[in-house]
């Protein structure tokens, strides 16, 4: 397929590289010329503006956005719309709030343009070699991009979630669950360290990664982080949050659904900004390992 791709940050660049290797034709744009230059030597065609990007695509265009949630998405769509035509599709692959996706889809539908909200998971590794994507929006638009999704994702790693907003809602809930899982791991490793048994935390992680009920990718990432430093002393335990946890707690309050574990993990992220311990450093390290999220190094 031929598609436009806007946003070549950490996730966007890896996804674009993946699509190019799968044989897709991409016209790419990023506000940073340095970011666009990273695709030099590939088959990607670099546009110097959003208007130029649209002009290089045929009608019934597909344009995939990987830009930060909030105002940047609105601004990008606003700049694209004058160049687009009825039948074109925009895919928002970032972590937008679901209510924003519903609003944007309704506005674009009036002009005959489809918006798909595509919650993307898998971190940098997934973006490069096979992601997990949850898509909301018009089913007909979803079917038109399915070939692209099949190549972007691992086997059985994508699906149609429902009407506009459902893709980003599913991703929000996914990230809330992720918060709780990482918090539990952080607390467990903190107790191991305090036990007095002198545990080799990397060895514990290795054992737990093979055959245990709690085995999985996060535990494998824990091994990677501990291999860098058995005490994770290279970073402070200050855990950032990118919004999805807060949105999930707000949604739970709106729908009167109890999510105490996820809410507690969110509040712990706030607490971590005042004091750090191994529990917080574990979560900060895991976020860095899977998503390249920044962390504060100890002075």
Beta bridge partners of 115: 90
Classify residue 32 as exposed, middle or buried by CB count within 10 Å of its CB (0-12, 13-18, 19+): exposed
Looking at residue 93, what is its pLDDT? 98
- Record the tokens describing residue 183, joined without a space: 């918090």
pLDDT band at 296 (very low <50, low <70, confident <90, very high): low
For residue 197, what are the CA distances in angstroms to 104, 191, 194? 55, 10, 8
Helix then strand then coil, in percent of the chain rounded to 5, is: 50, 15, 30
Domain ranges of the chain: 2-162, 171-291
Q: Which residue has the tokens 């992720």?
A: 178
pLDDT, one tens digit per residue, over 244-255 is 999 999 999 999
**Whole-number Å distance between alpha carbons of 299 and 294:** 15
Mean pLDDT, rounded, for 82-103: 97
Known catalytic residue at 78: no
**Which residues lie below 8 Å from residue 31, measured CB to CB, with a gap of 6+?**
none
Question: Taking 50 as the threshold, does the pLDDT of residue 299 lie above it?
Answer: no
Q: Tell me the pTM.
A: 0.90
Given CATH 1.10.1040.10, say whether it is the number of domain 171-291: yes
3.30.300.130, 3.30.413.10, 3.60.10.10, 3.40.50.720: CATH of 2-162: 3.40.50.720
Mean of pLDDT values over 247-274: 92
Residue 28 has pLDDT above 80, yes or no: yes
Task: Name the β-bridge partners of 28.
Answer: 5, 46
88, two tokens: 């074109």
- Kindly tell me if the per-residue pLDDT of 293 is higher than 80: no
Which residue of the set 78, 110, 125, 171 is catalytic?
171
Q: Among the options 178, 187, 244, 289, which is catalytic?
A: 178
Percentage of residues of the chain with pLDDT beyond 90: 84
Active site residue 171: yes
| DSSP sequence for 201-212 | HHHHHHHHTSSS
Give the mean pLDDT of 68-76. 97
Average pLDDT over the chain reads 94
């Amino acid at each position: 397929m031929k598609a436009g791709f806007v946003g070549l940050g950490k996730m966007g660049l890896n996804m674009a590289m993946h699509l190019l290797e799968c044989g897709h034709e991409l016209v790419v744009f990023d506000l940073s010329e340095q970011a666009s230059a990273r695709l030099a030597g590939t088959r990607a065609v670099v546009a110097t503006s959003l208007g130029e990007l649209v002009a290089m695509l045929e009608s019934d265009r597909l344009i995939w956005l990987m830009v930060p949630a909030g105002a940047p998405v609105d601004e990008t769509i606003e700049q694209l719309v004058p160049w687009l035509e009825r039948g074109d599709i925009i895919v928002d692959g970032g972590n937008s709030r679901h209510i924003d996706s519903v609003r944007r889809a309704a506005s674009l539908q009036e002009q005959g343009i489809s918006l798909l909200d595509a919650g993307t998971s898998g971190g940098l590794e997934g973006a490069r070699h096979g992601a997990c994507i949850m898509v909301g929006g018009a089913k007909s638009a979803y079917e038109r991009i399915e070939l692209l999704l099949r190549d972007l994702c691992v086997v059985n790693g994508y699906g149609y979630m429902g009407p506009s907003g459902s893709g980003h809602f599913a991703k929000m809930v996914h990230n809330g669950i992720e918060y709780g899982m990482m918090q539990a791991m952080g607390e467990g490793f903190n107790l191991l360290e305090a036990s007095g048994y002198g545990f080799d935390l990397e060895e514990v992680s290795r054992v737990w990664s093979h055959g245990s009920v709690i085995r999985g990718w996060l535990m494998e990432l824990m091994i990677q982080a501990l291999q860098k430093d058995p005490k994770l002393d290279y970073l402070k335990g200050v855990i950032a949050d990118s919004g999805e946890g807060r949105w999930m707690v707000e949604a739970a309050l709106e729908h009167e659904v109890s999510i105490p574990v996820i809410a507690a993990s969110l509040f712990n992220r706030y607490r971590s900004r005042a004091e750090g311990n191994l529990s917080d450093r574990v979560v900060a390290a895991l976020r860095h390992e899977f998503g390249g999220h920044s962390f504060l190094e100890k002075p």
